[in-house]
Amino acid sequence: MLHFILKRTAIAIPTILALIILSFTLMHYAPGSPFAGERPLPPEILANLEAKYGLDRPFPEQMARYVWNIITEFDFGPSYSYKDRTVNEIIAQGFPVTLAYGSLAFLVSIMVGIALGITAAIHRSTWLDSLAVGMTVGAQVLPNFIMAPILVLVFTLWLGWLPGGGWQGGQWPYLVMPVIALSTSFMASIARITRSSMIETLNSDFILTARSKGLPFHEVVIRHAVKPSMLPVISYLGPTFVGLITGSVVIDIYFSTGGIGQHFVNAAINRDYPLIMGVTILTGILTVMFNLIVDILYVWIDPRIRY
C-alpha cells in the first residue's frame, strides 16, 4: 500500500511539471499583454516593466527561471495586476477562505446527497422517491449563479436573516449562503449517483442472501448495501472537490467572500501570468491529490482491488 502511494506520488511530479510547461506555453503565445491597458504605455516604460519582470528574456529562459524558483524557493513570483503583492501572498490569503467554505460545501453535498440518494433508492417508486428525485432535479437545474442571487433576494433582502456578502473571518452567518449556493448542484449529482448505484446493489444476489438470513431490511441496507453503492460516488468525489474549489468563482463574485475563485477569472482577464500559473498549479495539485485519495479509498473499500 505504501509502495502504491509512493509510486503514485512520484508519477504526480512529472504530471504537474507537464501541466506547468503546457499552461506556461499557452499563456505566452496567447495574444494580449499584461500591460496593455486602455491607454497604451510609453515604449520606455513598457520596456522597463518587461525588464523588471524578465519578459524581455527568451521564452525558454523565462520558463526555466519560473520552474526553478518554484522548485528551489517555492516562489510563484510577483503578481502583475496587484502591484505590490506576490502570488504566494494572494493564494495564502484567498485559499484558506475557499478551502473553508469549499470543504463545508463538500461535506454538505456528500451527507445530504448520499442521504437523499439512499432514501430514494430504498423507497423506490413511492412518493418519497419522487420527492427526492424532484429535489435533485430542481437542485441540478439551478446553477449556482442563479442560486446565489435567489438566496440573497430571499434571505437578505426579504427576510433580512443573513448578510448579503462578506467574510468576517468565516463567521457562520457569512458561510450559510455561499455553502448552500455552492453545494446544491453537487449534492444533486451525488444523490443521483447514490440512488442508481443503491438500486443496482439492492438487486444483487448477496442482498437476497442477507435478507434470507432474517436481517431486518434497514440492517441489510446498512451492513450490505451502503459500502458497494459508495464506489461510484467516491470516484465522483475527486473531481467534485476540485469542482467546488474552481466553482467558487461565482461565489466569490456574488458574496465577496475574498476566496481564490475570483482570481481564476480576474487573473486571466488581466493577463496576470504568474497568478494564472499559481491558481492553475494549485488546482492541478489538488486534482492529483484527490485522485490519489479516491484510489486509496477504492482499495480500502473493495478487497478485490489490489495494486
d(CA 267, CA 262): 8
303 binds other proteins (CB under 8 A): yes
DSSP state of 221: I
For other proteins (CB under 8 A), the number of binding residues is: 24
- Residue 22, Cβ density class (10 Å: 0-12 exposed, 13-18 middle, ≥19 buried): exposed
> What is the pattern of x (binds other proteins, CB under 8 A) and - over residues 7-46?
----------------------------------------
d(CA 158, CA 48): 53
Q: Give 86's strand partners.
A: 78
Q: In the block, which residue shows the cell 479509498?
A: 297
> Least distance to other proteins from the beta carbon of 223, Å?
6
Nearer to other proteins, 65 or 223 (CB): 223
- Residue 255, Cβ density class (10 Å: 0-12 exposed, 13-18 middle, ≥19 buried): buried
Among 41, 215, 285, 292, binds other proteins (CB under 8 A): 215
Among 38, 44, 73, 205, binds other proteins (CB under 8 A): 205
The answer to whether 100 touches 291, Cβ cutoff 8 Å, is no
Nearer to other proteins, 52 or 124 (CB): 124
Q: Which stretch binds other proteins (CB under 8 A): 55-63, 189-197, 223-231, 253-261?
A: 223-231
Give the closest residue to 2 by CA, choosing from 301, 292, 256.
292
130 binds other proteins (CB under 8 A): no
> Least distance to other proteins from the beta carbon of 303, Å?
4
218 binds other proteins (CB under 8 A): no
Nearer to other proteins, 230 or 267 (CB): 230
DSSP state of 45: H
217 binds other proteins (CB under 8 A): yes
Cα dihedral sign, 54-58-61-63? positive
307 binds other proteins (CB under 8 A): no
Three-class SS of residue 114? helix
Three-class SS of residue 86? strand
Q: In the block, which residue shows the cell 446527497?
A: 113
Among 18, 124, 138, 168, binds other proteins (CB under 8 A): 124
Nearer to other proteins, 7 or 227 (CB): 227
Q: Which residues bind other proteins (CB under 8 A)?
A: 124-125, 204-206, 208-217, 219, 223-224, 227-228, 301-304
